[in-house]
Every structure is written in structure tokens, then in C-alpha cells.
A and B are shown apart, each in its own frame.
Chain A
Amino acid sequence: MYLYLTFLNFFLLFLSQVIIFKFLKCKKNWHYTSCLIFIIILSVLYFSLGIKFIFIELLDYLFFNFIILINYLILLLLIFNGSPSIFYLKNPSKKLFLKKAFVKNRVKLMKSKKLITRNNKITPIGYLVLKITNFFSILILKDDI
């Protein structure tokens, strides 16, 4: 029921991203940009095509689109931030890997996001992140080898 419309939403999002990221070179705040573009596309298409969903259908449609959007943004995170595993797969050289300084950069980010202090101590936000992560891992998917 929502498949064609959702496909159109994401196809237009992808085209807009290509224009903005590749041709206009605006990659800063890519996540906010992507979310904003998607909301605009979703609203414009819904109203311009004259679609009339009943309230429950509308909620289902929005839920379907936003679940796919979350998954898509997580995938884009790998593309924009880079993954150490993918980097290793492409370049197994230790020298190149260490040069990339994944941990050093992430620690800097953690300090700016206030997960840890300047003296490398965990802040209450850091503890909260750790507890939430453990909770969801135990609840959703954990390894029992």
C-alpha cells in the first residue's frame, strides 16, 4: 500500500543528497540535512499527490518511512564517519591504520560530547550511554557462545 510512495520518497531523497553532497559540497551536518530534506519530500508528495490516508494508515505510513530512514542514516554513518573494520579490509597495513587514528579522534569527539572529561574520567552521560547499550544488547541481541 505504501511501497511505491515510500520508494519515491527515498529515490528523491537520494537524488537530493547527490546534488547537495556531491555537487554543492555541503557535507557538514549531513544527518540534519538528510532528515530535513526527507520531511520536506514526504510532506510535499503527500499533499501534492492528493493522497488521503485515514489516521491509522497515516501513522503506519509515517512509521514505515521513519524506520527505513533511521536504518538509512545508520548506513550513511558508516559512509561519512568511516569504519575501522572496513578500513582494515581495504588496507591491512598497520602503519596506515595507526595513521588514521580512529581511537584518538573518537576520544576527542567523546570529550566534546561530554561522555568523558578532559582527565579521561567518565561523566554521568557516559555512564548512561554504557548502561543503555548494555540493556539493549542483553534485551535484543547478545552472543552466547
Chain B
Amino acid sequence: MIFSFFLINLFVIILINRIKIKASIKIILFFISIFIFNLYVSNNIIIFFELLILLVCSIHLSMIIYAIKHSSIRIEVLNSIIKKKKYNDNKLYLDRKNRFKKNNKSLWMKEIFTFANVIIGFFRSCFF
């Protein structure tokens, strides 16, 4: 059940990714479709929560794949070497500065980082 549900998640996100829309809308579409499917297939509340956790994990993994491509420093450095351009801390600073501007249309909105910061703050206070 768990494994097959994960495969369905993977199949659906691949299908939704074919549509030419913004990444944030793809994520919302994916969540709604799988959530409805989850409601339909769950026999009880426990299975519903298990599948919901799996859905959240799938969304998190998809966003990480997106993050690696679009904002990983390693990938930026590799791309800059190919394009024979210099990538340094100053460029990274300007990139991050632009990310928090109001006209930013990418998946990385200020609200996402504010939310992540709360979670990170909790874990940092526990581990450091």
C-alpha cells in the first residue's frame, strides 16, 4: 500500500510537471489531486495520516530536487565554470537579495523561508 501509493505520487508529479505552469501551481495541483485520492483510498484515519505523511514527504523531495537545480551553490559553481563566468559570494548575495523581492515569481517565496526558519530554529535550539 505505502510503496504503491508512493509510486502513484511519483507518477502524478511527473505528469503534472509536463504542464507548462509555474512550479508553485504544480505543487498545489499535486497536493490537491493526491489529497483527494488519499481521501478516496483510505479505509481509516490511521491509513489516511500515513498516506498524508507520504504525500508531504513527496512534496518535500520534489521541492528539494527543484532547490538543487535552482539554488544549490554547488550547481551554480559547476554551471559558472561551464559558462566561463565567475561565481562568488557577492553574486550569491545579490541572488538571495533578489529572491526576497516582492516581484519574485519563483517557488522560493519569503514565506517559505520564514516557515523553514521556524522549524530550523526549533531543531537548532535542541541540537546546539
Asked whether, in the complex, the Cβ of B13 is within 8 Å of the Cβ of A106, the reply is: no
**Total residues of chain B contacting the partner, CB 8 A:** 68
A46 part of interface (Cβ distance < 8 Å) = no
Asked whether, in the complex, the Cβ of B75 is within 8 Å of the Cβ of A133, the reply is: yes
Is the contact region of chain A dominated by helix, strand, or loop, or is it mixed? helix
The one of B73, B105, B114, B127 in contact with A102, judged by C-beta atoms closer than 8 angstroms, is B73
A39 part of interface (Cβ distance < 8 Å) = no
**Interface range, A side:** 35 or more
Residues of A within 8 A of B47 (CB): 1
Leading 8 A-B pairs by shortest Cβ distance:
A137-B69, A60-B2, A144-B20, A21-B127, A88-B96, A106-B73, A141-B66, A143-B23
Residue positions of B touching A, CB distance < 8 A: 1-3, 6, 13-14, 17, 19-23, 26-27, 46-47, 49-50, 53-54, 57, 60-66, 68-75, 77-79, 81-82, 87-93, 96-97, 99-100, 105-108, 110, 113-114, 116-117, 119-120, 123-124, 126-128
Q: Report 11 cross-chain contacts, Cβ distance below 8 Å, ordered by A residue.
A: A22-B126, A61-B2, A64-B2, A67-B6, A75-B60, A88-B93, A89-B113, A102-B89, A103-B89, A133-B69, A142-B66
